[in-house]
C-alpha cells in the first residue's frame, strides 16, 4: 500500500495499520510513535511518587493515608490525542494499537525495578463477553513480552459485574468494589497491576489491598495514562 493511501485511510479512521508511520502525526517513523510525538506526550510534570497525581512529590492524600499500592507508573497524562488511540483500542477493536499505546509507558519504565510478574486488572466474564476481550490482558501481554516479565492473567478474578465506577462518589466506589475480587493462587513478592487508564485509583487500591493481605510485599501500578 502506498504511504499516501495508508495516510488517507488512517485519517478516515479506517482499521488500517500505518506501516512505517507514526500513529499520531503519520510522519515516517521506525517506532509506532515518532520521537517528536513521544516528546510532546512526555511533558515533564511534577507528580506524587505514590499515586501519580499531578502536584508535589508526595501529595497530601498519600501523606495522610498512603494507598495500598506502592507506586504508580503512567505513560502519559490522560488527554487527546492519546485518549483517541485508547478509545480506538478499546471500543473499535484496533488491537494492533498496543504498540503505540505501550511505547510511552515502556519509556517511563526504563529506570524502574521490574516486578516478578504482571497482573492485568480483571474484568468480569459477563463484561468480557460483551466487549469480546479484556484490554488489560492484551496490554499486560504486550508489556510482558517487551520486558521479559511473566504475566499472571488469572491470579486475580472478578467475582461479579460491578456497576460502572463513573459518576460514583469515593465512598460509593469503595462500596461498589467490596468483595468484587478474589485470588486464585499464591501471590509473588512483587508484582505490577496493569490497566489502561487510572482515574481515581479505587479499583487498583482494592486489588492491592487484597494482594497485600495475601502476603505480597510490593505492588506497582502500571497504566497507559493517568487521569
Ligand atoms: Zn509523530
Ligand atoms: Zn499521592
- Domain locations in the chain? 1-41, 47-226
The percent of residues in the chain predicted with pLDDT above 90, rounded, is 63
The ligand whose atoms approach the alpha carbon of 10 most closely is 1
Q: How far is the CA of 218 from the centre of ligand 1 (A)?
A: 35
- What is the grid cell recorded at 62? 498519600
Would the pLDDT of 2 be above 70? no
Confidence of residue 1 (pLDDT cuts 50, 70, 90): very low
pLDDT value for 100? 94
Residue 158 C-alpha to ligand 1 middle, in angstroms?
A: 37
> Which grid coordinates belong to 133?
476481550
Q: Is the pLDDT of residue 14 over 60?
A: no
What pLDDT does 72 receive?
96
| Predicted local confidence at residue 138, as pLDDT | 95
pLDDT, position 128: 76
- Cα–Cα distance between 68 and 55 in angstroms, integer? 20
Averaged pLDDT, 33-41: 91
Mean pLDDT of 14-19: 66
User: How close is the Cα of 69 to the center of ligand 2, in Å?
Assistant: 11
Q: Calculate the CA 21 to chain-centre distance.
A: 24
Q: pLDDT tens, 52-110? A: 998 899 999 999 999 999 999 999 999 999 999 999 998 888 888 999 999 999 999 99
Please name which ligand lies nearest the alpha carbon of 26. 1
**DSSP output for 12-24:** TT-S---TTB-TT
What pLDDT, on the 0 to 100 scale, is given for residue 132? 78
Quickly state the pLDDT bin for 42 (edges 50, 70, 90): confident
As a whole-number percent, the residues of the chain with pLDDT over 70 amount to: 89
More confident residue, 119 or 199: 119
pLDDT higher at 94 or 141: 141
What's the gap in Å between 26 CA and the centre of ligand 1? Answer: 6
Domain covering 47-226, topology: Rossmann fold (3.40.50)
C-alpha cell at position 119: 497482573
Greatest CA separation found in the chain?
A: 57
Secondary structure of residue 65 in the 3-state scheme: coil
Ligand nearest to the Cα of 22, by number: 1
Distance from C-alpha of 141 to C-alpha of 119, rounded to nearest angstrom: 10
- Which pLDDT belongs to residue 130? 76
Q: How confident is the model at residue 175, as a pLDDT?
A: 72
Q: Please give the distance, rounded to the nearest whole angstrom, from the Cα atom of residue 83 to the centre of ligand 1.
A: 15
208 vs 223: CA distance, rounded Å: 14
Q: Which of 83-92, 122-131, 170-179 has the highest mean pLDDT?
A: 83-92
Give the closest ligand to the alpha carbon of residue 53.
2
Amino acid at each position: 500500500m502506498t504511504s499516501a493511501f495508508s495516510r488517507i485511510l488512517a485519517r478516515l479512521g479506517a482499521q488500517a495499520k500505518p506501516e512505517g508511520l507514526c500513529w499520531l502525526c503519520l510522519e515516517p517513523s521506525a517506532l509506532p510513535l515518532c520521537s517528536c510525538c513521544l516528546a510532546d506526550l512526555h511533558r515533564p510534570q511534577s507528580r506524587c511518587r505514590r499515586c501519580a497525581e499531578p502536584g508535589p512529590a508526595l501529595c497530601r492524600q498519600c501523606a495522610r493515608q498512603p494507598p495500598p499500592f506502592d507506586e504508580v507508573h503512567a505513560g502519559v497524562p490522560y488527554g487527546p490525542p492519546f485518549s483517541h488511540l485508547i478509545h480506538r483500542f478499546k471500543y473499535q477493536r484496533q488491537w494492533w494499537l498496543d504498540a503505540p499505546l505501550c511505547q510511552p509507558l515502556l519509556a517511563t519504565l526504563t529506570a524502574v525495578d521490574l516486578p516478578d510478574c504482571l497482573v492485568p486488572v480483571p474484568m468480569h466474564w459477563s463484561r468480557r463477553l460483551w466487549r469480546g476481550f479484556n484490554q488489560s490482558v492484551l496490554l499486560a501481554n504486550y508489556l510482558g513480552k517487551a520486558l521479559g516479565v511473566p504475566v499472571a492473567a488469572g491470579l486475580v478474578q472478578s467475582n461479579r459485574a460491578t456497576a460502572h465506577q463513573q459518576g460514583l462518589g469515593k465512598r460509593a466506589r469503595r462500596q461498589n468494589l467490596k468483595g468484587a475480587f478474589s485470588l486464585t493462587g499464591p501471590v509473588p513478592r512483587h508484582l505490577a497491576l496493569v490497566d489502561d487508564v487510572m482515574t481515581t485509583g479505587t479499583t487498583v487500591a482494592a486489588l492491592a489491598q487484597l494482594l497485600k493481605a495475601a502476603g505480597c510485599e510490593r505492588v506497582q501500578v502500571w497504566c497507559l495514562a493517568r487521569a
